[in-house]
């Protein structure tokens, strides 16, 4: 009975801490998006192109590092070069999703072939860089000046380190923390940035959709707004349709996290034995002509009179998965994407550089676990407000 009481108290404490922590996300997200707007304004004055691919990766990295890792991305002493973030994340996801011989030939033969073809070397290189970063984050928190007080809205690393020190109902090791940081950092930076890149790419290729979403945002929020806040997220219907359509055409993770069958099942006449790994192709589902009209076209209006959503209840659109293994940070990612796009589409009009047209944009994709636009998206901003 005493142990049950203690476990319940620990769970209640943890729940309160996480709720308290996530209240700080609003402020951080607003501040980081405002910094992006300020930088884009400087480019607008010069009428110079903005690398939106780098801009969006920097934005999601800044938010993730502050919220989850307690690290300020803009500090001069930040351990990873800001210009390196996009490259590092892309290399990491590519390495994690790459084929290795050891996956199919465990033991000596697989290791020998990986060594021969240098597949493991690429994985080790990026893993060592990330591990050094995570260790720096942990060491920084362990300094007397870096430890967070539990009564304050600390970051996720501080909370996990506290679990090591105190007698909670489950224990964590430093390796456990690094594994969690791997998931948070790569997923938090990569997927949100990819979605914003593809959304702006599709909008600039479809001027009617661009005009409509900007008119909808400005009509909903009013003219000459000095600040757009978290409270405005969810108010612009057409922007939500744009995001859904982007997820349909360009799911950041084309293959969802694999599932494994618990027992023998039969699907459409096929016998699936237990312990079989099943991969779900979200990219193909989103372009299936049996499920979607004109599946290759970017048509946000298709969601106007549709109940289809991306929160795991409609299997036609599954960018975050479904069920118990659905992405736990889905709501945070959506809010970042919506707030970022809303501000950039409200304050600026956008055009192609050097007289290019939307149809000139290269749409080639690259990646393994996640799929991003191969060539950076370069657009010229024009200050509207």
How far, in Å, are 132, 168, 217, 296, 370 from residue 195 at the CA level? Answer: 28, 37, 19, 17, 11
Closest to 311 in 3D by CA, of 288, 333, 292, 296: 333
pLDDT in the model for residue 76:
64
Give the separation between CA 169 and CA 104, rounded to whole angstroms.
Answer: 37
What is the domain extent for residue 184? 2-383
Output the tens digit of pLDDT for each of the chain's 385 residues.
Answer: 444 444 455 555 545 555 555 567 888 899 999 999 999 999 999 999 999 999 999 999 999 988 888 888 887 667 777 778 878 888 888 777 776 777 767 777 777 777 776 767 777 788 888 888 889 888 888 887 655 443 345 678 887 887 777 766 667 788 888 988 888 888 889 899 999 999 999 999 999 999 999 999 999 999 888 899 989 999 999 999 999 999 999 999 999 888 889 999 998 899 999 998 888 999 999 999 999 999 999 999 999 989 899 988 889 999 999 888 888 888 888 999 999 999 999 999 999 998 888 888 999 998 888 899 999 999 999 999 8
Closest to 283 in 3D by CA, of 311, 244, 247: 247
pLDDT in the model for residue 19:
54
Give the separation between CA 199 and CA 40, rounded to whole angstroms.
Answer: 17
pLDDT in the model for residue 4:
44
List the Cα angle 164/170/173 in 5-degree steps.
40
Q: Is the dihedral of CA 265, 271, 276, 281 positive or negative?
A: negative
Residue 378 tokens read as 């370069």
Closest to 25 in 3D by CA, of 55, 74, 57, 63: 63
Alpha-helical regions (H) of 269-329: 282-286
Give the separation between CA 70 and CA 146, rounded to whole angstroms.
Answer: 9
27: domain CATH number? 1.10.630.10
pLDDT in the model for residue 151:
39
pTM of the model: 0.86
Residue 239 near residue 217, CB atoms below 8 Å? yes
How far, in Å, are 96, 99, 122, 138, 272 from residue 119 at the CA level? Answer: 11, 8, 6, 29, 32
pLDDT in the model for residue 380:
96
pLDDT in the model for residue 219:
96
Judged on CB neighbours under 10 Å (0-12, 13-18, 19+), 351 is: middle
How far, in Å, are 9, 70, 157 from residue 134 at the CA level? Answer: 30, 11, 10
Domain count, the chain: 1
């Amino acid at each position: 009975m005493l142990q049950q009481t203690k476990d319940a108290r620990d769970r209640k404490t943890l729940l309160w801490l996480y709720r308290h922590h996530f209240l700080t996300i609003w402020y951080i997200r607003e501040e980081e998006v405002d910094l992006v707007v300020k930088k884009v304004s400087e480019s607008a004055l010069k009428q110079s192109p903005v690398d939106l691919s780098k801009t969006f990766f920097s934005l999601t990295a800044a938010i993730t590092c502050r919220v989850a890792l307690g690290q300020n991305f803009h500090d001069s002493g930040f351990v990873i070069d800001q210009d390196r973030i996009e490259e590092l994340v892309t290399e990491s996801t590519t390495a994690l999703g790459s084929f290795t011989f050891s996956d199919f030939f465990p033991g000596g033969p697989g290791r020998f072939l990986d060594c021969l073809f240098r597949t493991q070397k690429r994985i080790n290189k990026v893993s060592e860089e990330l591990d050094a970063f995570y260790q720096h984050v942990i060491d920084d928190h362990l300094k007397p000046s870096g430890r967070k007080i539990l009564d304050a809205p600390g970051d996720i690393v501080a909370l996990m380190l506290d679990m090591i020190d105190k007698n909670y109902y489950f224990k964590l090791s430093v390796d456990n923390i690094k594994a969690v940081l791997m998931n948070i950092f790569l997923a938090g930076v990569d997927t949100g940035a990819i979605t914003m890149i593809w959304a702006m790419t599709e909008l600039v290729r479809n001027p009617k959709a661009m005009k409509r979403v900007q008119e909808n945002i400005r009509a909903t929020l009013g003219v000459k707004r000095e600040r757009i806040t978290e409270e405005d997220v969810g108010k612009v219907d057409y922007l939500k349709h744009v995001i859904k359509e982007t997820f349909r055409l360009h799911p950041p993770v084309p293959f969802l996290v694999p599932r494994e069958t618990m027992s023998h099942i039969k699907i459409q006449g096929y016998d699936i034995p237990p312990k079989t790994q099943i991969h779900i192709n979200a990219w193909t589902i989103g372009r299936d002509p049996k499920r979607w009209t004109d599946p290759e076209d970017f048509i946000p209006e298709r969601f106007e009179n549709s109940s289809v959503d991306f929160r795991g209840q409609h299997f036609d659109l599954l960018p975050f998965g479904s069920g118990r293994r659905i992405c736990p940070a889905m709501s945070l990612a959506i809010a970042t994407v919506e707030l970022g796009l809303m501000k950039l589409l409200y304050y600026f009009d956008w055009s192609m550089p050097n007289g290019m047209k939307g149809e000139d944009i290269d749409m080639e994709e690259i990646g393994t676990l996640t799929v991003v636009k191969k060539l950076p998206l370069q657009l010229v901003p024009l200050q509207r407000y």
